[in-house]
Chains A and B, each alone.
Chain A
Amino acid sequence: MATTRLLIAALGGEGGGVLTNWLVAAAAAQGLKAQATSVPGVAQRTGATTYYLEIADADDSATDPVFALMPVAGDVDVVVASELLEAVRMAERGFVVPDRTFLVSSTHRVLTMHERIARGDGARDADSLMQAAERASRDRFLTDFAAIARKSGAPLNSVLLGAIAGRKLTPIHAETLRNAIEAGGIAVSRNLAGFDAGFTAASCLERSPDAPGETPAASKTPVSTALEERVRALPGEAREIARIGVARLVDYQGTGYAARYLDRLAPFADDGALCREVARHLAVRMSFEDIIRVAQLKTRASRLESVRREIGISADEPFELVDFFKPGIPELADILPPRLGRALNSWAERKGIRETAHFGMKVKTNTILGFGRIWLLAKLKGWRPRSLRFAEEQAAIEAWLELVSQARAVSPDFALQTADLARLVKGYGDTYRRGQETYARVVEDMVRPVLAHKNAVEDPAAQLKGAIAGILTAPA
């Protein structure tokens, strides 16, 4: 029985239907009997959908085969998936089995809604998905097809067709598959480029490298030698993070502020792992994003460069850039002196407008006036240490550091988790305020009681770690 049973798993709108049509047309061109079905149903916009084909070879095509209309667990020869999670979904439904199925799949991920809405990193662990895909398949060709498609400027489905041809997964000759693209008449030149890229990738088994990330500008600021000495005095594990922290804070406020960072870090220098995590969170908390910091980040030369790269233009091409700012009473009070800021906040609270009064601004940052306004705001950097927000943040940081050092008495791991609590406080406006409330609640419920030995909680570090993870993955 040499009829190839092939199942395509694709995301709605990714051209799975066109890929199916190419295969059906190519089979007909070669005089092979074939059948294809799909369940497009309600506009499968970006939802997961499948296309199922059965392609008879020359011998079977001479007879009168009865083709099945749907894939059956354990009976599928080839599964072609346009995305890694969908490949594993096919295995989860039994369509990829170790004693039969050849799996072609892209290794790139398109996160599902459930993974994207988590407050932290909600994505399924990529390695475990890869292992599941490898464990479930008889043989496989897994590579980043999306990267190949991007490089060849072609849509993903033509690259997949090239891979199917390259690994000879159907009775259809590679040349016939390629001609089907021409006959199909849809963006022929781009699709042929995609086909050839997929074909070469499949036939010589090279795995395409992932695109390297670039390190942000802030951590490239030069660091004075005095500070560099003090960083080198820290334990090896924490040195790299501390160096980035120092560079960040010099850029953020100045060398004095960076020195204060190292002073605060010193008490933890005897525990390498704890020192590294405190160094990480301390640098982030000390460089809190008030309006001044946002203005500084938005008016940096490297930022304009990254915007140009995002829309694919060179320096001399004109472009428009609009930034969205909506400072309210809290943001204004933040940069006022503490006494004045607190007065404004309580006045606004009494008037009940603290949360509602906002000054919406859509600033044209590519114009001189627009850029200038934000640039001036960034100039308030010198004033920041005298602002309400600065005072409140330093107090919160001191309280947090005190908590971490007390937690060391319980266990090094409990201290690490207490330090990690800082991850809960992030964002702007009421997201930031909700983060502070969550942080305060966890401290009251799960840290203070342990410190006060009131109730001997069994393995407090693990419980704290679980709480933090739970908060970060459960969407608000």
Chain B
Amino acid sequence: MERTFENEIGLLRLGAGETFRGEGILAITKGLLQSGVSYVGGYQGAPVSHLLDVLVSARDLMGEMGIHVESCANEASAAAMLAASINYPVRGAVTWKSIVGTNVASDALSNLASTGVTGGALIVIGEDFGEGASVIQERTYAYAMKSAMLLVDPRPNLASMVDMVEHAFALSEASHMPAMMQLRIRACHVQGEFTARNNVKPAHGTNSKFSEPADFFYPRLAHPPVIYSQEVNKVSERIPAARAYIREHGLNDRIAGTKPSRLGLVIQGGLYNTVMRQLGEMGLADENGTPDIDILCLNVTYPLVPDELIAFARDKDRVLVIEEGNPAYMEQQMLRMTVDAGLSTRIDGKNYLPEAGEYTGEVLAAGLGRYFLENGGNILDLDAIRRRMERMEKVRAAAGALLEAPLPPRQPTFCTGCPERPVFGAIKLAERTVGKVHVSADIGCHAFGTFAPFNQGNSILGYGLSLASMAAVTPMQERRSLAIMGDGGFWHNGVQTGVASNLYNKGDGVLIIMNNGYTSATGQQVIPSSKHSEIFGTGAKIATTLEAMGVKWLRTVRTYSVETMVKTLKEAFTTTQKGLKVIIADGECMLARQRRERSEKAQALKEGRRVEQAKFGVDAEVCTGDHSCIRLSGCPSLGVATNPDPLRKDPIAEVKQDCVACGLCGEMAHAAVLCPSFYRAARIHNAGWFERTLHRIRTRVIGAMAGAA
């Protein structure tokens, strides 16, 4: 695991009245324990990875409370886990990154939502939307509507989020609908505090098992003929029950404005802070969140509660619905409700606010500003709003004019010494003789191969789907195509969607599997083929799995030996042997390896054992400043420095101090016959007597020779 979580686990043990200080996603985890969950699962993915990471590390706490924790193979298996809440009155929670995780889980979710649940079932959704996101931009809202699932979108402060966790379980039980809690990226990582309540030991769990299984009850199956009554039940029973609970417990906040006005805002709970701040900047709210105009803040965005909305809109001329992303589901529902209720209130939304994209402070300032200037004439201080809008425009224009040319982007890239970087260098070298090939890319650290200096990848179809997305490309290409997949993507689905399908259809093509031992991009979580894990990992081997499935052409290559990788790639692209060719690129994630080796080396040093500390370097006088080594390697520790040679102007290559001596820059310059500027130097701690004497002799002889040079 990238981060260790001792003090976080301590926070999970807090009792009633104690102050919890930490991140949003951790507060949610505490909320789960306060709600008496019996089981928790999920799949890692920003921004929710820490929920599962902490619970996986908190094994003894989970054991004490009898909570079953699973690190699921993918989101579908996580969603299927919620089936426990169909037959049994047990509360369970799973988490994943959305929209992509929800897509993978959608079949299980539809079945679960059709039968409905007895015990509360909560899905903690990390809505990867807006700045910092790494996936396609879609709204999870659509799933709530089409499958009739609850969607909770709490105000992004820890207290509200934790309260809504507990309400979500109760709401799920009251309506028999699975509940989804949507947390945006900044809400997951928001640091704040809330007053804890005691954890609740579940009535049934791993310490208090059911003596008998549930009795057979056909309506609990997602199977004809009950599928029809289940659908009717959603609209006739469950949604009304949900609305009743939402109204009775006042889950949505009706915030009265200090100045009566014929305008009102209906907003998603998750946007509360941004909306309140922008109103404040326009003089329409104070710093403590008391607005001048009425606001209905929806902490539950599905189902909407018609009478609540109609009551809010009845005495208004216009109501602006603020919902981020498209399409405008909430606005469309409200239009229908107000028409049915015969109201003349004008429902605004995407006519004032952008149809797509994140609702940042700037976006809301512009949208709200225009809305109030056009419609708030009689009662609002329009001058304050105009001043605010003018200032925002001045700031934007000045920022735009600051520089003649935009700054170069600084995208994430492979870490120093990453085992996956050499593979992309090798592909570039292999293409020099084999020619350009179609590259089907995937999700994971290897996706950084789509950035400079590698710029490789013709498509990304989602996690683990690189080989599958090449199925129709390879037969139509003269040259074999290449799919790149991580070991994480392989176990997530690639083994089946890609490899099994390719073999079954007697396909061809080359597949590189980056075997770095973890899902590294999300924080080095463990996968079935991980070697270094006491908790998980079956010690499954990717190579033996592939052989068992019928892969004939299979090579395992250590990624740092660039020349071997180039040779293997050339052979894979040119061999006459038909069928899928798989190259397992072996090399442990350098972050995980460094973390392990750093402590081992420190220990060895303390015990006085011989330790080698290597680093690569560039001879300043031999380097001519062409930087072809950087174009092939792109390692963060391979930078440029001012040329010490007064006769030359171009900067030379330089290896910085954070080099971990993986050897790539040297291997690459060697394999690509670039130049002899690189060297590998290793400092030797606690050298033995013989080594020191040999060194003294060498220094004297070499010193003489060097002196005479």
What residues make up the interface of A, taking CB atoms closer than 8 Å to B? 1, 3, 11-13, 20-21, 24, 28, 34-49, 60, 63-75, 85-86, 88-89, 91-94, 97-98, 110-121, 123-124, 128, 132, 135-136, 213-219, 241, 244-245, 248, 280, 283-284, 289, 294, 296-301, 303-304, 306-307, 310-313, 315-326, 328, 358, 360, 362, 365-368, 371-372, 375, 378, 423, 426-431, 435, 472, 475-476
Contacts and interface: CB of A to CB of B under 8 A. Distances in A.
A41 B46 contact: yes
Given A41-B185, A72-B360, A280 B647 contact: yes
Given A67-B273, A68-B273, A24 B191 contact: yes
A85 B451 CA distance: 19
A383 to B, nearest CB: 16
Contacts of B683: 311-313, 317, 319
A326 B436 CA distance: 26
Interface centre among B157, B277, B412, B707 (most CB of A within 10 A): B412
Contacts of B626: 119, 426-427, 431, 435
B675 A66 contact: no
Contacts of B593: none
B698 interface: yes
Interface in B375-399: 391-392, 395-396, 398-399
B132 A41 contact: yes
Contacts of A89: 407, 410
B647 A368 contact: no
A73 B402 CA distance: 14
Contact of B699 (A65, A315, A431): A315
B551 to A, nearest CB: 30
Interface residues of B, number: 122
B705 A245 contact: no
A328 B670 CA distance: 12
Nearest to B447: A42
Contacts of A119: 626-628, 650
B628 A476 contact: yes
Contacts of B192: 35
B704 to A, nearest CB: 10
B287 A70 contact: no
Interface string B267-283: 00000111011101100
16 contacts: A45-B448, A47-B412, A72-B278, A94-B395, A94-B399, A113-B452, A113-B634, A114-B452, A136-B398, A213-B644, A323-B679, A368-B701, A426-B626, A429-B675, A431-B675, A475-B453
Contact of B47 (A41, A74, A136, A365): A41
A295 to B, nearest CB: 9
B247 interface: no
B288 A476 contact: no
Contacts of B365: 72
Given A37-B186, A69-B187, A124-B407, A368 B698 contact: yes
Contacts of B452: 113-114, 117, 475
Contact of A48 (B46, B47, B410, B651): B410
Nearest to A94: B399
A427 B185 CA distance: 47
Contacts of B186: 37-39, 69-70
Contacts of A117: 452-453, 627, 630-631, 634
Given A39-B185, A72-B360, A72-B365, A307 B679 contact: yes
A299 B288 contact: no
Contact of B620 (A13, A21, A116, A306): A306
Contacts of B232: none
B107 interface: no
A216 B620 contact: yes
Given A41-B46, A319-B683, 5 more contacts: A47-B411, A72-B365, A328-B673, A426-B626, A428-B676
Contact of B403 (A40, A132, A325): A132
B674 interface: yes
A320 B523 contact: no
Contact of A60 (B287, B691, B697): B287
B705 A42 contact: no
A28 B674 contact: no
Contacts of A472: 650
A43 B412 contact: yes
A20 B649 contact: no
Given A28-B21, A37-B191, A113-B413, A69 B156 contact: yes
Interface stretch (B238-246, B337-345, B530-538, B611-619): B611-619
A294 B682 contact: no
Contacts of B578: none
Contacts of B587: none
A24 B695 CA distance: 52
B666 interface: yes
B453 A113 contact: yes
Contacts of B682: 311, 319-321
B250 interface: no
Interface of B: 2, 21, 46-47, 128, 131-134, 156-157, 185-187, 189-193, 272-274, 276-278, 280-281, 287-289, 360-362, 365, 391-392, 395-396, 398-399, 402-403, 406-415, 445, 448, 451-453, 520-523, 563, 612-615, 617, 619-622, 624-628, 630-631, 634, 636, 638-640, 642, 644-651, 666, 669-670, 673-676, 678-684, 687, 691-692, 694-699, 701-703, 705-707, 709
Contact of A216 (B522, B613, B645, B651): B645
Contacts of A45: 412-415, 445, 448, 636
B493 to A, nearest CB: 19
Given A70-B360, A283-B647, A316-B696, A85 B631 contact: no
Nearest to B359: A70
A310 B674 contact: no
A321 B679 contact: yes
Interface centre among B2, B280, B563, B631 (most CB of A within 10 A): B631
A284 B647 CA distance: 7
Contacts of A71: 361
Nearest to A355: B673
A297 B278 CA distance: 64
A89 B189 CA distance: 23
Nearest to A36: B191
Given A89-B407, A304-B706, A311-B615, A426 B624 contact: yes
A1 B287 CA distance: 8
Q: 3 nearest interchain CB pairs?
A: A39-B132, A47-B412, A72-B361
Nearest to B128: A41
B678 to A, nearest CB: 5
Contact of B408 (A24, A69, A115, A367): A115
A429 B410 CA distance: 31
A134 B634 CA distance: 31
B681 A311 contact: yes
A188 B687 CA distance: 30
A298 B187 CA distance: 56
Contact of B191 (A35, A324, A426): A35
Contacts of A310: 615, 617, 681
Contacts of B414: 45
Given A66-B277, A114-B408, A368-B701, A320 B684 contact: yes
Contacts of A324: 666, 669-670, 676, 678-679
B702 A116 contact: no
A405 to B, nearest CB: 21
Interface centre among B2, B133, B619, B666 (most CB of A within 10 A): B619
B603 to A, nearest CB: 17
Contacts of A214: 644
Given A42-B134, A88-B407, A312-B683, A116 B276 contact: no
